[in-house]
Structure 1
Amino acid sequence: MLSVLIPTYNYNIVTLVNNLHQQLSALAFNFEIIVLDDASTTYTGENSVINNLSHSTYTILKKNIGRSAIRNHLAKIAKYDTLLFLDADTKLISQVFIKNYIDALNKDTQIIYGGILYKENPNHNQTLRWAYGRKREALPLKKRLKQPHLRFLTLNFLIKKSVFEHISFNESIPNQRHEDTLFAMDAKTHHIKVDHIDNPVLHIGLESNSVFFKKSLESIDALKLFINEGLLEAKHTKLSYNVELIKKYKLSGIISFIYTVLNKRMQKNLHSENPNLIFFDFYRVGYYLQNN
């Protein structure tokens, strides 16, 4: 009845899989857990014990294929009609996590997103990713329901296999994020409903401030590429929407000037233990404008 699909890369997922297996085994339906490793160089020995669990497999790919392609491959090899995707760097916080998804299923189900939470106290060098996640991603159910497609993330979602066959992940894009945005907007274009429930996982794989900062700029480059190629519209993300407003009111020059003057000061803050998300937002807008 349920295929649990987990892509992983250089991450120990034994605890996550054990917890999933325990919950699934306690329920009276058929299941499988498929873990695909995207050509990792570490933790492969530890993760191989997954193959000792019933209805569970851990397979290492010979070459790295990226986040979009590995999810598509997982969906293709899954044998059941309901797919549950989880990222490797998540942790179950509910003893009835699987049951919550099963209870939410009905004949009209197409996609269900469960949500995300972050731990209370991050490491001192992971504060930027933590602050961004807590304020921008870990949204309560009521707020997510107001914009069901825009508030969708791919780290914890259930989808019918028949739906996935119509809106698979775009494998032609750079491996630089926003694949979840493209996936959600594709669903919206095809009139596929995204339901939301209160069934979050804990995001535990936080990048360091420097790594997240670098990835954020790469993600802006990808976003501009997607908009220029017509894959996304500016209104689909808050960043690109704000940039369009700035251009409309002819404020690009003053924003770019302030960005240049405060660049080093903002970077210092964003790499500190107490990053300011206002600086982060402004820095990304300035970067978008200067590299447009």
Structure 2
Amino acid sequence: MLSILIPIYNYNAYPLVLELHKQCIDCGIDFEIIAIDDASTQHNSENNSVQFLTNCSFVELLENIGRSKIRNLLASKANYDWLLYLDCDTFPKNSDFISNYIKHINLSTKKVFFGGIVYTKEKPANNQLLRWIFGQKREAIAVSERKKNPYKNTFVSNILIKKTLFDIFPFDEKITKYGYEDFAFIQTLKQENIEIEHIENPIFHLNLETSALFLSKTKTALETLLFISKTNSKIEFESKIIKTHKMLCDLKINLLISKLFQKQQLRLEHHLTSEKPTLLAFDCYKIGYFCYLNSK
């Protein structure tokens, strides 16, 4: 019936596994929960307790293999027909999270489902505001809005997919650095005309990194996007950043934007790590950095 797959990195996933385990038991379904730690730099001993729960396993890798490979590795170990991918720093909003997915499996002919993401309303510490604001505005999207643009508004942090389909279209293991591996995966589904059914079955995103760390990861993700754009032509027509960069190139102002970014980078970073970061400034930062990467 259901294989729940959880990649772990520097986080205590045991409370998540415990809740999912309870819900699966209550549903009376055949299930397994597979958690793999991708060589975390901050060991959390509680994750070892996962393996002592029935139908659960936990493995620690000795070497970090990256976000694409670990998801493919998890799928290769799965024994059931449906794969439910959950990020380790999430938690079901509702106690009927698993039963809700099972209901949709039984009622629909679709092979991919996305349940949505939400964030707590409680404002985090000032040094974590950028990630929280970004999540609230760009990820926590109502199901009615998600359905209008189903591929753009799907994230692999809470996705249910038929194993036979995933085996045909796994994650691209050429993407080894952080970022956009989920984007590439979703775009592959779009290119293959595989529908994604959006439902109301959200998880909380719990782990809010500092604004400085989020900026650093964003830069790495944009470097990954540049790599994808040079190796996968399908992405060029779907990525907003790549399309914006192409427009700036057509206007012959991409090098100007790159130079402006270099001059204003520290000021932008100061603003984005402040108590009042704005998404407009964040968007400017991203396109500026991407122009800079392309000018090197």
TM-score, normalised to structure 2, is 0.93
1:187-226 map, 5 Å? 187-226=189-228
1:46-85 map, 5 Å? 46-85=46-85
> CA offset at residue 224 of structure 1?
1.4
1:163-174 map, 5 Å? 163-174=165-176
> CA offset at residue 250 of structure 1?
3.4
Correspondence for 1:116: 117
* Structure 1 CA distance for aligned equivalents of residues 289 and 272 of structure 2: 14
> CA offset at residue 260 of structure 1?
4.0
Residue deviations 1:228-264 (CA, integer Å, cap 9, x gap):
2225433312222222222223343553454344332
Query: Do the aligned partners of 1:182 and 1:231 also contact (CA within 8 Å) in 2?
Result: no
Aligned residues: 292
* Structure 2 CA distance for aligned equivalents of residues 174 and 5 of structure 1: 19
Correspondence for 1:31: 31
Letter in 2 for 1:47: N
Residue deviations 1:165-219 (CA, integer Å, cap 9, x gap):
1110111113221000110111112222111111111111121111110111111
1:144-159 map, 5 Å? 144-159=146-161
Residue deviations 1:66-102 (CA, integer Å, cap 9, x gap):
1111111111111110111100000121011111111
Greater per-residue helix proportion:
2
Residue deviations 1:36-77 (CA, integer Å, cap 9, x gap):
111234444211111221111112123221111111111111
Pick which of 236-245 and 20-29 moved more.
236-245
Correspondence for 1:135: 137
Distance 1:229 1:48, change over 3 A: same
Query: Do the aligned partners of 2:177 and 2:221 also contact (CA within 8 Å) in 1?
Result: no
SS of the counterpart of 1:199? Answer: coil
Aligned equivalent of 1:273, options 272, 275, 283: 275
Is 1:22 matched up with 2:22?
yes
Correspondence for 2:13: 13
Distance 1:61 1:196, change over 3 A: same
Query: Do the aligned partners of 2:66 and 2:178 also contact (CA within 8 Å) in 1?
Result: no
Q: What is the aligned-residue identity percentage?
A: 38
Aligned equivalent of 2:183, options 181, 190, 207: 181
* Structure 2 CA distance for aligned equivalents of residues 103 and 130 of structure 1: 31
Is 1:230 matched up with 2:232?
yes
Query: Do the aligned partners of 1:226 and 1:232 also contact (CA within 8 Å) in 2?
Result: no
* Structure 2 CA distance for aligned equivalents of residues 215 and 41 of structure 1: 16
Q: CA RMSD in A?
A: 1.6
Correspondence for 1:252: 254
Residue deviations 1:1-47 (CA, integer Å, cap 9, x gap):
11111110221111111111111110122111111111234444211
SS of the counterpart of 1:59? Answer: strand
Query: Do the aligned partners of 1:84 and 1:159 also contact (CA within 8 Å) in 2?
Result: yes
Query: Do the aligned partners of 2:177 and 2:220 also contact (CA within 8 Å) in 1?
Result: no
Letter in 2 for 1:220: L
Deviation >4 Å, runs of 4+: none
* Structure 1 CA distance for aligned equivalents of residues 175 and 143 of structure 2: 30
* Structure 2 CA distance for aligned equivalents of residues 175 and 258 of structure 1: 27
* Structure 2 CA distance for aligned equivalents of residues 7 and 231 of structure 1: 28
* Structure 2 CA distance for aligned equivalents of residues 27 and 8 of structure 1: 25
Residue deviations 1:112-165 (CA, integer Å, cap 9, x gap):
111111122122111111111111111111221122122211110100000001
